[in-house]
Structure 1
């Protein structure tokens, strides 16, 4: 297929301004610091996100399209250094040889032929490991939406596709979850052909303990971005976002929102038992916060950011929604026996990119953080936020406190605990931020004890870091 003449990348909001890609790979040491970096932070903050290597052709759909680029800030003894690197898949290498984009965006269905990329890559979809980055079992992995991750070196050089010894050849989710008690990694993967949805478990040694296991009761391909994990269950929320390849081949959207199908929540027993389903009215979620089981009655509590529908393109669901009462931080209480869901709105503020201290996953927790909209109405793009917000959820509700970032556009907050301590006050929240007045980018370090007081340190990044998506704090391994 050929690129649509109607596609003009200069008119795509998420290819401009604070979202615009950067192409230079940079190394810098002794970064300038405003304030004082906590000396107990010894490790690296990494963030992956969409960053097209070349000007896109055909279409560009944020936040799904784009090559992966990982930005890293190494902190040690109060000092900082920086490095960024592309995730070099075989498709990107072919494009670098050609000096231009050869694959179109997801909606364009432009796939190069053998004359351009050779027989192996011809007519294949381009890998997009551009959403998240995690470390597990000694492997640093750049993660795609539902595809094989790419393994990276500690200094962010691409080592190759990771299939876990060939046992997970179709790939995994962009949001796997690590059980802090057992050390297991839980993953899922959706596909365009049966089985449409599978799950798997990986052990702390990197060996697959349970291979791809089909989820019964899924009769069509659906998009699922995130998951949650409890001590007994994988929790998957199947919103009515269905893939429609026939429509895409005929110039339509490759994702169809079908609210009449409703949203279903799957509780998948980690021991391989039958899946338990609960039905609800249609809603969408990009990201979960955490999930756990109520010890009194076995009900499953799932906290997440709810959206009225999946919306991509000019007004993506990851951005600024209409306020129709169905958006906001939400708690779903799922009865696995009766198959019923009761939802409680914890806050209706415009928020996204929720995170907790990863050590509390699968159990009750105290605090969560999100990127937020300050409400000043200064023309932020969809997916752009100018505040950070913290919630205390111990009393069954959600008490919120906010730090207004002013002229800074901020990203996902990630918790970096102080070694040897527990509790949300013993650590720091890290995030990249870009100044809307001059496009300078910073790593912000905010205190866990009182984060609304603002950063204790700001690290000047030598290049602009495009906004979005997900990151992690990796303490130095002994």
Structure 2
């Protein structure tokens, strides 16, 4: 198998995360003036970006975990009501350089990782960043998605970073809970990056080797998820495989760290056994005595990496959307199921991060890879739910909310995502009206020049946040 040939849906390897809609693509494509159905909002000037795993060379289907593929960023640039271009590019890493014969990418590699970020991509401090959890250094990309090199926030990041930082809309700071199970076996780190792209705080917090995928943020607290998916020493010693396994005896708890507090100030609260990859949002409430509680909306699985050690969808269940209300004084939690159907990749209006909010948006993954994945909108005050059906066998990814300029209502804006046709393999970039998910058509639909594999996370990066080259 050559460097440009990857496993496809015809390979018959038997690993669902290497076949069908997950199968990697073989080419890096650049296409201009993409065909548009409907009308792209002219005020959308910028790039919709999404990252995901895409192995560049042959992998062992018996052991390959979905989370370990080489990173590939896909992007669509919008300007003046046009889809100006589509690009997909590998995120540079030592491994990609070895396969291509181009050598390692520049920049510090604090934990000597051979791989590159494959989980998230976004704009911060005027720069485009590809990110990954579990220790990898962020990689800086050009506007056109080519790799510049590893960037440890201009030398200020002491070690690991995360794929899921939270941006405080008031301070402009980026908050992260980070772990590096191969290097830090007894602690994690709370990192705060200032608006200028330099780290202003890095606080060590004692903790076991849990899979710390994400965090939440409120006005008072940085929230830690200490969950029963932990490092399996036998898997870790085997190498070249994902080392995390379901471990319900570990217990499950939430830590509330005062944002300017010390490690000993963390308030630990036991919560129901399960696993959360992604919270939707979190905020503080004010109690009559001035103490208040913490509300977190999140997508919770009953278990994770128990029977299926190659990815998240083979343990026979899906994530339900739940609301957890935590009492920092009594150290108790009350839980409410908001929606029993499948909910994942939750998003909300970014200007309301860490604040009370009303609307949230999710994808609704199917476990059989054949049924469509609709887009869901939740009214968290009334309990009303809307569903945008993308059609038979069409799977929509993470819905990214973009506010309409001058809008006053919380949900006045658009939802952007990729929609994958699980039968034909075609992929569209779509724009939905977030105020009207009952409508049967898109605001706009852009046909992409190649299939985009099912992947992870992305963001809308406006040209105001990260300007295009002059």
State the TM-score, normalized to the length of structure 2.
0.87
How far does the alpha carbon of each residue in 1:175-227 deviate from its partner, in whole angstroms, 9 at most, with x for none? 0000001111101211223442111111111121112x1114x2x21111111
Q: Contact 1:304–1:330 (CA<8 Å) still a contact in 2?
A: yes
Q: Contact 1:370–1:390 (CA<8 Å) still a contact in 2?
A: yes
Structure 2 residue matching 1:369: 3-state secondary structure = strand
Matching residue within 24, 47, 52 for 1:49: 52
Matching residue within 430, 435, 448 for 1:444: 430
How far does the alpha carbon of each residue in 1:275-298 deviate from its partner, in whole angstroms, 9 at most, with x for none? 111012321011010000012242
Unaligned runs of 5+ in 1: 1-7, 100-115
Matching of residue 87 in structure 1 with residue 91 in structure 2:
yes
- Aligned counterpart, 2:121: 133
- Aligned counterpart, 1:257: 246
- Aligned counterpart, 1:210: 201
Matching of residue 156 in structure 1 with residue 145 in structure 2:
yes
Q: How much has 1:124 moved relative to structure 2?
A: 5.0
Distance 2:419 2:309 in 1: 22
Q: How much has 1:331 moved relative to structure 2?
A: 0.8
Matching of residue 403 in structure 1 with residue 388 in structure 2:
yes
Q: How much has 1:264 moved relative to structure 2?
A: 0.8
The change in CA–CA distance for 1:194 and 1:254 in structure 2 (over 3 A counts) is closer
Matching of residue 17 in structure 1 with residue 9 in structure 2:
no
Distance 1:171 1:34 in 2: 43
- Aligned counterpart, 1:359: 351
Distance 1:227 1:62 in 2: 23
- Aligned counterpart, 1:111: none
Distance 1:237 1:287 in 2: 10
Distance 1:339 1:128 in 2: 39
How far does the alpha carbon of each residue in 1:226-275 deviate from its partner, in whole angstroms, 9 at most, with x for none? 11111111112111111123443258972232212211101111112411
Distance 1:37 1:321 in 2: 39
Matching of residue 432 in structure 1 with residue 421 in structure 2:
no
The change in CA–CA distance for 1:51 and 1:64 in structure 2 (over 3 A counts) is same
Distance 2:159 2:235 in 1: 24
Matching residue within 283, 293, 318 for 1:299: 293
- Aligned counterpart, 1:467: 454
How far does the alpha carbon of each residue in 1:144-171 deviate from its partner, in whole angstroms, 9 at most, with x for none? 1122111111111111112123332422
- Aligned counterpart, 1:65: 68
How far does the alpha carbon of each residue in 1:412-432 deviate from its partner, in whole angstroms, 9 at most, with x for none? 111122233343432110110
Q: Contact 2:365–2:395 (CA<8 Å) still a contact in 1?
A: no
Q: Contact 1:195–1:214 (CA<8 Å) still a contact in 2?
A: no
- Aligned counterpart, 2:5: none
Structure 2 residue matching 1:64: 3-state secondary structure = helix
Q: Trace 1:250-399 onto structure 2 (pairs within 5 A).
A: 254-273=243-262, 274-296=265-287, 297-311=291-305, 314=308, 318-319=312-313, 322=316, 327-373=319-365, 379-380=368-369, 386-395=373-382, 398-399=383-384
Matching residue within 26, 31, 35 for 2:29: 26
Distance 2:96 2:306 in 1: 24
State the TM-score, normalized to the length of structure 1.
0.86
How far does the alpha carbon of each residue in 1:284-328 deviate from its partner, in whole angstroms, 9 at most, with x for none? 0110100000122421001100101112774777437645xx941
- Aligned counterpart, 1:4: none
How far does the alpha carbon of each residue in 1:70-123 deviate from its partner, in whole angstroms, 9 at most, with x for none? 111011111102111110112210122299xxxxxxxxxxxxxxxx99xx99x9
Q: Contact 2:216–2:222 (CA<8 Å) still a contact in 1?
A: yes
Matching residue within 400, 403, 407 for 1:417: 403
How far does the alpha carbon of each residue in 1:19-47 deviate from its partner, in whole angstroms, 9 at most, with x for none? 11112111111111112212221111000
Calculate the aligned-residue CA RMSD, in Å.
2.7
Q: Contact 1:142–1:152 (CA<8 Å) still a contact in 2?
A: yes
Distance 2:44 2:154 in 1: 34
Structure 1 residue matching 2:438: 3-state secondary structure = helix
Distance 1:152 1:74 in 2: 15
Structure 2 residue matching 1:466: 3-state secondary structure = coil
